[in-house]
């Protein structure tokens, strides 16, 4: 899935293994305006919107930077290094 998509900023590349594992576990990337990009952009920064609740069971044991934080209650993954967020359908957001 990710092989056909782009990442326009290298500062998000460390999140790709998590996104790929989520896709492999059944989540799908929901395309936005930039339909071929893994991450979309708005005034708040970069985000990757995914279908369904995030499959934390598929990524819990993957290596990650200490700045990458899983918030299962809010159904999202945040990174304080690049300020990107990965979120599932259960996350409140503005479209």
SS3 26: coil
pLDDT value for 62:
95
Structure tokens at 57: 């069971």
The domain spans of the chain are 2-87
pLDDT value for 16:
92
Residue ranges for the chain with pLDDT beneath 50 = 95
Handedness of CA 80, 81, 82, 87 (dihedral sign): negative
pLDDT value for 20:
94
Q: Kindly state the DSSP code that residue 91 receives in the 8-state scheme.
A: S
pLDDT value for 7:
67
């Amino acid at each position: 899935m990710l092989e056909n998509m782009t990442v326009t900023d290298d500062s998000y590349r460390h999140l790709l293994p998590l996104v790929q594992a989520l896709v492999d576990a059944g989540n799908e990337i929901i395309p936005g305006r930039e339909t071929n990009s893994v991450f979309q952009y708005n005034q708040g920064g970069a985000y990757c919107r995914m279908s369904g609740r995030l499959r934390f069971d598929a990524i819990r044991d993957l290596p990650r930077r200490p700045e990458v934080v899983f918030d299962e209650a809010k159904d999202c993954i945040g990174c304080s290094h690049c300020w990107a967020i990965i979120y599932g359908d259960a996350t409140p957001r503005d479209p």
